[in-house]
Structure 1
């Protein structure tokens, strides 16, 4: 991680000074980092005596984020045109307006500032704080808060620690290069964050049905590419039987990545009759964000995802073939899910 620079902090400070009202939003289907980063930005705006509106298109499917749902309306009020025209838009944990999801107002003309840490964010110019080496957007927001508004209060510290913990799987994804991240987390503890309580909030409270669904997905899991990749999928019938609430994909990824010599895990979910989502996780140097980007998605080196029209078998086949290319440099045999399967042995 590269620490937030003076230029970046000054740019964000100047952006705040230019407006009196802000809309603060993260990506659709929010996670802990997205919501925590929004709350951290809101704390900076309060310290600067600015007005703001939090927004999330939802849905709030994860158990650990449900307590924040009431703070994030999925529909923006009908603001007076003159107020909206002079407003600033702050997007966190993503870099594109399109990833906000369904928004009932046209925000395309709003002055925009981006705070993001995804590899796919790219160069965003002066009105941004983007660092793909940062393990979470919440960590970037923490630095901005410390630079522009001083030490966060206990509630903000707890939220920022929650965001950092969820995006690093409670620091499991960090490397020897991340000493600054641990030092920043230590400051959040000093400000009032309780790591043990936050760990309980993240790991408990899942509906019992999700434990049964986890068993179904594990029983369905297969290996390919000589055991280097594990994959599984969720059907619409699974969703009807076990529900959408409190899904726990992180446990699924963790269990499958712990098996043998597994380097990557692919999980595809049929969301509707015509659309799918997919998550990819990896260990070591395998860059699953590059695989996801080939199919219209993105994310981090070891954690990425995408959504697309189609069916789970077609998407799973496409992802596995792209992973085969990444593992071998040039996969000559193709994987086809749902038909005769020829698996590349690497």
Structure 2
């Protein structure tokens, strides 16, 4: 049977097997796939007797992953660096994604597990396992579980399933090319006792009224350009939220008739973070588009950071995207 997942390089497995101390990193402003991937790696390798340390710079603003923040350290102790731990990075397409917390271990040997289609290869090829066809990093890590012959337990299955649900929008972003194998894998998690409805509630409950008011504000200031093929909105620095609105915002704006690409510009203290999403039938690869600005991501979901003002960033990105659109549909 054909599979989306190639065999993991034996050298990578050997490197993990030989390690005694392991430091596990994910990207800043983590989502469910990132957090659950880190927890899954720690769970699996701890079961093999490894001493695992979880690090994430945060912030853990999303209500669905905030309870897990207690498991993560935000600083790397000097004592750990002196022990020369094996570094494992998950769900990161570029070396800057883990944030400043990663600086202390940036020269140490590392392994990368990811599913982003663009970005940079920031470790030796034999020590990276990147599967762009995978719908989540947790399903990439399912292959590590099998390679290490680690038994599937309820706790591990739940970690892996939540990551899958986060990055597929609870099955919404599955495509025929990856659905069959993905569903076959997660069926095993359900058999292990994971309840889909409980996970859905975990991912969606707990939102505040202010959360939905902010979404309303962002939708109201959304601007349509190129005859409605592109929508963009923005958030000023002083409008920092207690919870992320990005996922709901994108899902709503991508349902607008005629839209192909959505941009969300978020003003930070030292940069502008641009979230990019494209509709499944648009054929616009926002992953490659983000890479042209030093960012990365997937074909349909990506992001980049720009050292410019908010106005400059909007002009730069919205001008550049025109070349990727169907110019026949843009009135002169």
Q: TM-score, normalised by structure 1?
A: 0.88
- In structure 1, the partner of 2:72 is 72
* SS of 2:266 mapped into structure 1: strand
- In structure 2, the partner of 1:290 is 288
254-263 or 319-328, which deviates more? 319-328
Instruction: Tell me if 1:168 matches 2:154.
Output: no
- In structure 2, the partner of 1:132 is 132
Encode CA deviations 1:76-111: one digit per residue, 9 max, x unaligned: 22316652x2x1000011144422112276213322
Runs of 5+ in structure 2 lacking a partner?
none
Relative to structure 1, the CA distance from residue 323 to residue 191 in structure 2 (aligned partners, 3 Å threshold; closer, same or farther) is same
Runs of 5+ in structure 1 lacking a partner?
331-343
Instruction: Tell me if 1:54 matches 2:40.
Output: no
* SS of 1:200 mapped into structure 2: helix
Task: Give runs of aligned pairs for residues 324-343 of structure 1, distance below 5 A.
Answer: 324-328=322-326
Tell me, in whole angstroms, the C-alpha distance in 2 between the residues paired with 1:98 and 1:209.
Answer: 31
Q: Would the aligned equivalents of 1:93 and 1:118 in 2 still touch at CA under 8 Å? A: yes
Relative to structure 1, the CA distance from residue 323 to residue 82 in structure 2 (aligned partners, 3 Å threshold; closer, same or farther) is closer
* SS of 1:106 mapped into structure 2: helix
Tell me, in whole angstroms, the C-alpha distance in 1 between the residues paired with 2:6 and 2:254.
Answer: 36
Q: Out of 276, 283, 306, which is 1:280 matched to?
A: 276
* SS of 1:227 mapped into structure 2: coil
Q: What RMSD over aligned residues (CA atoms) do the two structures have, in Å? A: 2.1
Q: CA deviation at 1:7?
A: 4.1
Relative to structure 1, the CA distance from residue 200 to residue 17 in structure 2 (aligned partners, 3 Å threshold; closer, same or farther) is same
Task: Give runs of aligned pairs for residues 1-346 of structure 1, distance below 5 A.
Answer: 2-8=3-9, 10-79=10-79, 82-83=82-83, 85=84, 87-103=85-101, 106-121=104-119, 125-178=125-178, 179-237=180-238, 239=239, 243-272=240-269, 274-283=270-279, 284=281, 285-328=283-326, 345=331
Q: CA deviation at 1:4?
A: 3.5
Q: TM-score, normalised by structure 2?
A: 0.92
Relative to structure 1, the CA distance from residue 258 to residue 146 in structure 2 (aligned partners, 3 Å threshold; closer, same or farther) is same
Tell me, in whole angstroms, the C-alpha distance in 2 between the residues paired with 1:91 and 1:329.
Answer: 40
Relative to structure 1, the CA distance from residue 310 to residue 290 in structure 2 (aligned partners, 3 Å threshold; closer, same or farther) is same
Q: Number of aligned pairs?
A: 326
Tell me, in whole angstroms, the C-alpha distance in 2 between the residues paired with 1:324 and 1:199.
Answer: 37
Tell me, in whole angstroms, the C-alpha distance in 2 between the residues paired with 1:236 and 1:221.
Answer: 17
Tell me, in whole angstroms, the C-alpha distance in 2 between the residues paired with 1:286 and 1:61.
Answer: 29
